[in-house]
Structure 1
């Protein structure tokens, strides 16, 4: 498959993440291998099975929002706007000078304005004691909390975007899918600039209760710092998180003309579904493998061209084994040669937002030529036998990286990023013909 004539590149990155405010603090946390997981402080988690989370130390006023914006927006919306502002500033793009009809927005979210909705329901229902709620106690912008697309609208308002604006909600792949949608808008010619990413602020009693019920989150409350353990033999569930990452995505030639600094080119994107189970995964990883294969095909790449894999790596037994099998199925022998890591070990699983935070990490990894580690990986699971970069970040020459996501509902997404052509190192010498024999595929 040939690459499209219009190409999409990342020229700006903004992040609101656990463990630090802004893109640089986020990258510092990842490369230091620090975990931002702790006991939940945003609400009283006493009595819940899982009482740990990766929270953002976020002050909306200190982050530059006005009191009116704070009143109007749910925490997830506040995250998105702050991340988008940082991305625009980082890109150096003059949005007011751009044609507003050629500026688009694509924001992902799995659970929308969960915190605002739960807080308002508690007020309207007098703490759940009243079945017929009194709407007069609601905040003026309560309707906006009920419509997830308002998250994308807030970013569009910031950017003055009058082009395509969308909210993508595909569970835990929302962030990847929203960026993929933004790329498609660029490639098809519907926009020249897209603010794309995702946001979620799900740390509320209702979310915790839902994941407690299916035992997806970790009960390791006594050691929050080490509770998120992807690919480790002792892992017992994921750690909820929150946050946002938004990127400025531009048409490559337009970005070149204005002299923009490019983090990465988005080379290929694909999504698949397993049509199998709302929360279950087939152990063979076939659907994720197919998404990887198609993404590579669209990027006109072979498995041997991938230099790093940013794994979904949630820290549940079924997910880690599922995607390990998917890497082996799709990449063959290369799966045993390329470093793989999960940043959820440090920042938890922020549901729909995590895919965008992972793409931001991939863009930064390509710029700095450093692979973030998988923290807390001390006792490898024999069924997860790839190079998961345990504990310590690794300097590593990378030209192309793969990021994958897996979500409830059976969603499987893959995206391939590459260093911009003008900063790529010289091609590697030809690989030796002798390669280790292919290992038996995971069942």
Structure 2
């Protein structure tokens, strides 16, 4: 018999919202957290907007030593983990530590810390031979993304499987999917899982400028992210973290835990086509969706809401629309679809987990979050993309999808506990 996996706690740090309660409030109100970049002077760049978090690590319980040791991405992950554990009510100290594991997703690792340190050791780029004596003592932690998972493991006392998953912009989905499989196969009983990225830095902005993936719209930063809108012209870079407590369902029930949702299906595919390009037919995403539905053992007609990747690039939104029509058939036209990136930007590897959090909360509240800034629907994107305003909607089964550079396509099915399967 397949072991069932429940989400019993969640923690979220997103632009405009620190904590799951504030995050849901932002989504429900359709507020956008995109603005002109404040972390550095963005004027030399084509894209000058981002979705930043007003995050003070000391205010959120990190010690001076932790702040010195950890890159911003690791800090976000640790704070989100602490919220998730507290939210779940689980006593990690009562667990067999070898049955507690961690999987954390990240696309770009400690980008912020590495760039900051390079500027120091190179005297702001003036030295071709850098002087290592000026580097922070914990520079190695910035170099290896595995340090993110280590920090979360130390926070929870996990001595089971501890892993970083880095599959570009699907990392947040894939990390949770891997955690689900570890519980199902019996390797772990409880997993701390999710994703984090803090990529808002000059080097990241320059890279996306070069391929014109980010929006150059700077006149109205709060309206710059426009998924599925005919006037969209690129995504808005973001940052954030979301972490979950996953448990084998019987384990959760024995301790009387709240259950936000069950993870009933997950699948991933690759298009093996192009580093940044997507086929318009969305065949690989459709295949991932079909496989996730098969694992969940539900037909397409059971999906109540689709949390889209919805990055706001021309090709992605057309690609997804085709994938939904292929995988859901006529039901795609009856199913509300929305993109929370319209409000919190695209935090690369973290966004998949942030979108899982949005999906779980949609199930909890029976509300579909809106697609902000969708004023002029693209005729090629002709599904119900829930423009501007959240919608009361019975939401027992949610499909959340992601698409990443390198051709990665992932899909996850989340269902309310006790839903017939």
Give the TM-score normalised by structure 2: 0.99
Given candidates 155, 166, 170, the residue that maps to 1:169 is 166
Q: Residue in 2 aligned with 1:261? A: 258
Q: Residue in 2 aligned with 1:439? A: none
1:14 aligns with 2:14: no
Q: Residue in 2 aligned with 1:129? A: 126
Q: Residue in 2 aligned with 1:199? A: 196
Shift of 1:358: 0.2
| Aligned ranges 1:120-159 → 2 under 5 Å | 120-159=117-156
Q: Could you tell me which runs of 5 or more consecutive residues in structure 1 were left unpaired when the two chains were aligned.
A: 428-443
Tell me how far apart the structure 2 counterparts of residues 112 and 416 of structure 1 sit (CA, whole Å): 27
1:245 aligns with 2:242: yes
Tell me how far apart the structure 2 counterparts of residues 116 and 323 of structure 1 sit (CA, whole Å): 34
1:95 aligns with 2:92: yes
Listed one character per residue, the Cα deviations across residues 174-227 of structure 1 (whole Å, up to 9, x for unaligned) are 000000000001000000000010000000000000000000000001100000
1:183 aligns with 2:177: no
Q: Residue in 2 aligned with 1:54? A: 51
| Aligned ranges 1:300-315 → 2 under 5 Å | 300-315=297-312
Given candidates 362, 375, 380, the residue that maps to 2:377 is 380
Q: Residue in 2 aligned with 1:80? A: 77
Given candidates 73, 91, 115, the residue that maps to 2:112 is 115
Tell me how far apart the structure 1 counterparts of residues 60 and 275 of structure 2 sit (CA, whole Å): 37
Secondary structure of 1:10's match?
strand
Listed one character per residue, the Cα deviations across residues 13-70 of structure 1 (whole Å, up to 9, x for unaligned) are 0011100211100110000000000000011111100000000010000011111100
Tell me how far apart the structure 2 counterparts of residues 370 and 242 of structure 1 sit (CA, whole Å): 24
Q: Residue in 2 aligned with 1:39? A: 36
Q: Residue in 2 aligned with 1:291? A: 288
Tell me how far apart the structure 2 counterparts of residues 7 and 142 of structure 1 sit (CA, whole Å): 40
Consecutive aligned runs of 4 or more in structure 1 exceeding 6 Å deviation: none
Q: Residue in 2 aligned with 1:230? A: 227
Q: Residue in 1 aligned with 2:20? A: 23
Q: Residue in 1 aligned with 2:325? A: 328
Tell me how far apart the structure 2 counterparts of residues 393 and 157 of structure 1 sit (CA, whole Å): 38
Secondary structure of 1:233's match?
coil
Listed one character per residue, the Cα deviations across residues 46-102 of structure 1 (whole Å, up to 9, x for unaligned) are 110000000001000001111110000000000000000000000000001100000
Tell me how far apart the structure 2 counterparts of residues 85 and 184 of structure 1 sit (CA, whole Å): 23
1:368 aligns with 2:368: no
Listed one character per residue, the Cα deviations across residues 307-333 of structure 1 (whole Å, up to 9, x for unaligned) are 000000000010000000000001100
Listed one character per residue, the Cα deviations across residues 249-304 of structure 1 (whole Å, up to 9, x for unaligned) are 00000000000000000000000000000000000000000000000000001000
Secondary structure of 1:106's match?
strand
Listed one character per residue, the Cα deviations across residues 81-129 of structure 1 (whole Å, up to 9, x for unaligned) are 0000000000000001100000000000000000000000000000111
Aligned length: 421
Give the TM-score normalised by structure 1: 0.94
Secondary structure of 1:381's match?
coil
Shift of 1:399: 1.1
Secondary structure of 2:142's match?
helix
Tell me how far apart the structure 1 counterparts of residues 197 and 219 of structure 2 sit (CA, whole Å): 26
Q: Could you tell me which runs of 5 or more consecutive residues in structure 2 were left unpaired when the two chains were aligned.
A: none
